[in-house]
Each structure stands twice: as C-alpha cells, then as structure tokens.
Structure 1
Amino acid sequence: AREDAARLDVERLETRLSEARDVLAAASRTSRDANREVFRRELKEPGCEWNGMFERLVRHREENGGNVYVPTEGNFAAGTKMRELAVWCREQRDDAAGMERTMPHRHAALEGIGFEFDLDDKWLTNYENLRRRKEERGHTRVARDESAESKTLALWVTRQRSLLRKHDEGRPSTLTPGKLRRLRDLGLRGAKKVAAWDINYNALVAFRKEHGHARVPQKYVGPDGSKSLAFWVMRMRKDYKVHKDRLNEGGERTAAREVMEERVRKLDDLGFVWRVFRKGASREDDEKHVGIIGDDADNKHRLGVNAGGIGTVDSGESVVMQEEDEDNASAEEALVDH
C-alpha cells in the first residue's frame, strides 16, 4: 500500500512538473514574440541613425542584384554617401561581438540581408586591390618586383592560395565562408604544392632550352632577377659529392638515397655538369675549393663537356657553396598566378 501511495505521489509531481514546463514554454514564446515586436518597431523607428544606415544598405543590396557587399572606404571619395556607408559597414564588423550580445536584433537584421561579419578591414583592402587589378588586367597575377604595393599584394595572394589549398585538401584553414566565397568569385585557386627542387629543376630545363646546354654560370642571374638557379646548381654538386661518399662507404639503401639517385638521373638527361674547375687552376687546387667528386674513372656520368661531366667555371673566382637556407629562400616564384 505504501509503495502504491508513493507511486501515485511521484506521478502527481511529474504531472505538475510537466504542466509547469508547458507554462514556462508558453511564457518564453510570449516574451520572444513581445521582444520581436519591440525589436521590429525599433528597427522602424524614424530618426534613428542606425536604422537610416541599415535602410541605405538594404537599398544598396537591391540596386546591386542582391549583393550586400560594400567595398572598403578607400574606394570612395571623402564626403560621399558611399564612403559613409562603407565606414558604417566597417564599424558593424568591428562591433559584431558586442552587437550580438547587446543588440541581437540588429545583428540578426544584418545577417538576414546577407551581411558578412567575418571580413576584416585589412583583408578587404588587399581583396579590393586584387579585384581592381583583375578588372584592369583580366587576371590575378601579381609581379613581386613592380612596386612595394605589388610585393605586399603578391605575398597576400600567395597566403590566400596556400589557405585555399589547405581548404581543398580538407585541412584546417583560417578562411571564413565569406572570404572563401570572394576568393572563388575572383577565380583564385589553391596553390599547387611544388617542391623547391622541382622549381629549380624546371628553371634549369628552361635555361637549357634557351642556351643549348645546362652549364649555368656561377654568377648567372635569372629572368626574375635572382641568382637562385646558380646557387641551386652549386648545391646539387655539393649534394652529389656527399651522395657519392656515402655510396663508397656502403650501408643500407635508404629512401633519401633513392630520391637522390632519381634526381641524378633527371639531371644527367639534361647534360648536367657535375665537376667544374676554375680557369687557370689545377685540378687538385679546385677540388679543395669545390669538393669535386672522386677520380674520373670512378665517375659514371659523362655529361657533354669532358669525360666525367667536367666543365669550366666561367668566372675566375672560386666556386663557393651556398648554405641550404639561402638556396631555398631564393627559390620563390617570381609571379603569383591563379
């Protein structure tokens, strides 16, 4: 009997709790409806500066085929209505977090017309520069050496392409939906993942096509104004000497050794010169400077100049090997292309 009475008490309490929840839900709906009406009236309140600017943004959207985006203020002359609207849009982005917390109806109203809060001013400035450039030239390629402004824009484009590649590969990226959409609209694509070695190898292929041989002068300056190819060629000779020394020492076959052997084969096909001497210097003296690989009889590569792929340095100065970071740093592309 006690268990039955206790069960009935529990059922009555559960019923009362359910009724209380229904009352609370109804009250919440009433409150939301009331707040919504208050917010709706506030958005229509005449004389409110924010409302006036919002209405101008709505008209701008209607006049531009549903596109709510307003270019940054730098695109408009001082004192114009569009510059005023651009400044207001920037202020809404800057205050997005506070607005969502204290004025959620305004935040919701902007979101309702497609306003993008995730476009920061610095990003937008670079985006606008690239957009204008494409309108003027028909492409998004930016040469790094045109001006300081072009260099800044080129670096920004490189960064965006890197982020696009990460996004396309499903990796974490800081690109927001708004930024992603705008970059896609410009036709910008993710950067191809090209190793520094391949970049320099392709440069050597182009050099050979132009000059008829793969003997890059020590002081050669490429079309982009850098000496990266000359540095890389010297680096390859140094790496090859290390590779040969390790082969002579024996040991297990490693992945790194296989990569080097494949690179050697590719360079052999181009007629790459593995051994170089300074004009007027003895072989013994040059081997101290350049770190030349073993004896001719031990060299299996015969690359077009002399037996053993031996060439002569065009400059009378010693060939000094560059550090790897210097080689890599100068291996950047001269143009940023989509």
Structure 2
Amino acid sequence: MHVPDGFINAPVSVAAGVAAATAVGVSLRGARRELDERTAPLAGLVAAFIFAVQMLNFPVAAGTSGHLLGGALAAILVGPYTGVLCVSVVLLMQGILFADGGLTALGVNISVMAVVTVVVAYAVFRGLLKLLPAGRRSVTVAAFAGALLSVPAAAAAFTLLYALGGTTDVPIGKVLTAMVGVHVLIGIGEAAITAATVGAVIAVRPDLVHGARGLAAPLKLRVGGELVDAPAPAATPVPAAARSTRKVWLTGLAAALVLAGFVSFYASASPDGLEKVAADKGIDTKVEEHAAAGSPLADYGVKDVSDARLSGGLAGVIGVGATVAVGTGVFWAVRRRRAQDLTATSTAAPSAG
C-alpha cells in the first residue's frame, strides 16, 4: 500500500507529513517506557523482519497481490509506540533506498501504514484480551483479529486522504469499495503472518512479547469454600542465558536474510492492492516519477547485476542490513535517553526532599 508521489496533492501531503511527524515525536517519547536493554536491539530486528516480509507479495485475487503492513506485528511484539517507529523506519528505508513509496508522500505512508495500523490493531488486541481468558492462545487469537482489521482500516484511511486531496476525479464511493474490499483479503494474510510470528516468539520467549506481559492468571486456592489468590511464589534468580536475547536476535536476523535474500524471488509479481485499484479506477493518471528512481537499489534490484535472482537477493540482504542498523541505532538512542532521564530523576530526588 505504498502511496507514490502524485496520488495526493501538496496541501494534504504536507498536512499528513505534519501529522506523521507529530506521531513519530510522540512515539519517540512513549518508546522510552517500552524499551529496555533487551528489547531495544529486538526492536531493530522487528523493523528488519517487517522489511523482509514486505518483499513477499502473496496472491489474494486474480491479478492482485498483497504484502504485510506490519503495524500489528510490531505493536504486539515491542509495544505500540515502538511499533510506530519500527514501521516508520521501514518506510524511510524503502523510500530512500528502493524508490518504494513517494518521498513527498512519506507522511501519507507513515500516517496510513504505521499510525493507523498500530492504533487499530493494538486497540482491538487489548480489547479482546480483556474478554478472553488469560493465556498464550488468547494472545495469538487477539493478534490475528487486530492484524485482520488493521489492513482495511488503513485502506479506509487512504481513501479519506484521497477524498481530501486526490489529484484525479474518481468517485470516492468506488475507491472506498475497491480499496476496502481487496484489503480485507490482504488482511487475512496479514493476520495469518502476524499470529504465526507472535505465536512462535511466545512459544520460545514469552517474556519478550510486549503484548503478553502480565497475562498469567493468578493461582487460585479454595479456602472455606471460596476461591482466593494463592500467595505469589518466591522470586528465583533468572539465569543469564534465559535473560539473553542473542539467540533470538540471531535467529530472527537469519530468518529475515533468508526471506529477503532468497524467498522473495518467488513472491507474486502481480500489483498490490493499491496499485491494482489505482490502475483500475484511474487514480494513477498523475503519478510522478520517484525522486530516487536512479538509486542503485531502485525497484529492489542492484544496478548492473543482470541476473534477476542475484540482483533481487542482494538488494534484499542490503535492505535488511540497512534497516536493522538504522533501526537498532534509533532504538538504542531512545533507550539511552530513557536511562539518562532515570539517572537525572534519581539524582534530583534527594535534593528535592
């Protein structure tokens, strides 16, 4: 659903850019509460994994494909504020390096693909967890539902922006029906990928899943015919090996590299949902050439490498490496800022007393 330059006019693109910048600023502050020494590097990995999976377009209808948006997955794994930043990093890398998603439309893409998907998915996820019994299965079910609804919500958000600033005269009702219709199908794929990934991480390291924290139901004892909470068990030291995230990080990075560097060659070549709707409805008649069209990695291929498999694979590997490097740098900076804030607070507390 990467919106190119020329779909949305300048005033609405600027307004969306301001909204996106505000959301990123709020997320930078909120992410300080979500990130710690273990989750900061994992957030960079989540961004790289989303980049890799977005290269895997899957068929959803005749002549149409879809790909992961990633907002639900990121929000559930590392938190909603950090999730917005993860998807924003991916969109920035795709726009600058691969000419995917317009640069003037970056604010539109962040608003639609990062902010809307995260807000809708996480709201649905948290709402369902309040209704479902506590447990890992409920987390997976709630993740599926949140991801499923986040994709058509993003499609509806794009339609709203198009209604406000579309550069072509196309009936909005037709755009909304086509966009939401095809993205409901894409949402099924998004939900399956999200639930499978969340379930896999929970099975190995549930402590690393932000959305699964604090979900263990307290043990009940029957005393005098009534159920009461059992005393909490004494805390036991956690082995260093159990606290380490190195194995998870290396496994996740290897998976991202394989997906982007090898599996992506077999992805569907059909246009994605937005591209298909744009071509069918005439939204793309005023599309503009991407400012980075001359990039050595434009269109997910390495310039001057003639072999298509090798070119696409190298581009995918470079993209994963760049995304994990930039993402990890951003999240470590946020983590360090949190540590500085905590230090300043603890230092000032005695003098305040």
Q: Which has the higher contact order (CA 8 A, sep 6+)?
A: 2
Q: Do the structures match in fold with TM over 0.5?
A: no
Normalized against structure 1, the TM-score is what? 0.18
Greater share of residues in helix: 2
Normalized against structure 2, the TM-score is what? 0.18
Which has the greater radius of gyration?
1
